[in-house]
Amino acid sequence: MGKITVAIDGFSSTGKSTLAKQLAKALGYVYVDTGAMYRAVTLFALRNGFIGGKQNNISALIKLLPRLQLKFIYNKELGFSEMYLNDENVEKEIRSLEVSKYVSQIATVEQVRYKLVDMQKKMGREKGIVMDGRDIGTVVFPDAELKIFMTASPEVRAHRRYKELLERGEEVKYEEVLKNVQNRDYIDSHREISPLLKADDAIEFDNGDMGLEEQFERIYNFALRVIAKHK
């Protein structure tokens, strides 16, 4: 059977990566979490004091970009790929609230987007890929055979994220998480380059009151129909 490209975009904490992982596993496709790539660059910028201090130094970050190595390495036990920054596994650190606070800012930097989009396009050359992010259906794979745009209210998403962070042992307040979600929505949707937009041919999917299983079943069945058409 022919392989297709699946592009999943949407607001933060809409469950994009959960769905993308499930879908990739069921279809036997590669899964790529592009948010992890922007998060890894943000972690690098934080560690080097290029952001998060008194003064940002984005030009210093831009200068180091060509030497920045990002890799996904498959973890057999976990069943998914983990993010490596210059050969260090940063999968855990990139999910902290600290990185979440600054990542939208880093994602507005043209040179960062240019580097990451180029890497993403190369990863998808062979198709058979499920990629999630903000600009996958619009910029990275405008010709993807299946595009999904996920939404849910900011409150629903903040609750999900709050639970996740608590489970990970982070001390956070719900209000702080909600503010972060709203702030990221704003920056992601209003940035000049590749703002978060629903592609004209994407299917909009509001999963505010839908269980994970139902969501997966619906989209999986839909994906099978699209694949059958592209044999």
Using CB under 6 A as the criterion, which residues of the chain lie in contact with ligand DC when the complex forms?
12, 34-35, 38-39, 103-104, 107, 133-135, 184, 188
| CB 52, CB 99: distance < 8 Å | no
Q: What separation, in Å, do the N-terminal and C-terminal C-alpha atoms of the chain show?
A: 6
**What is the DSSP-derived secondary structure letter of residue 137?**
I
- In whole angstroms, how close is the CB of 121 to ligand DC at the nearest point? 12
DSSP 3-state of 192: coil
Please say which residue, 204 or 217, places its beta carbon nearer to ligand DC. 204
| CB 34, CB 136: distance < 8 Å | yes
- In whole angstroms, how close is the CB of 39 to ligand DC at the nearest point? 6
Residue 151's φ and ψ, nearest 5 degrees, are: -135, 165
- In whole angstroms, how close is the CB of 133 to ligand DC at the nearest point? 2
Please say which residue, 174 or 227, places its beta carbon nearer to ligand DC. 174
Q: Which helix (H) or strand (E) holds 116?
A: helix 110-123
Please say which residue, 4 or 7, places its beta carbon nearer to ligand DC. 7
- In whole angstroms, how close is the CB of 149 to ligand DC at the nearest point? 13
Please say which residue, 35 or 124, places its beta carbon nearer to ligand DC. 35
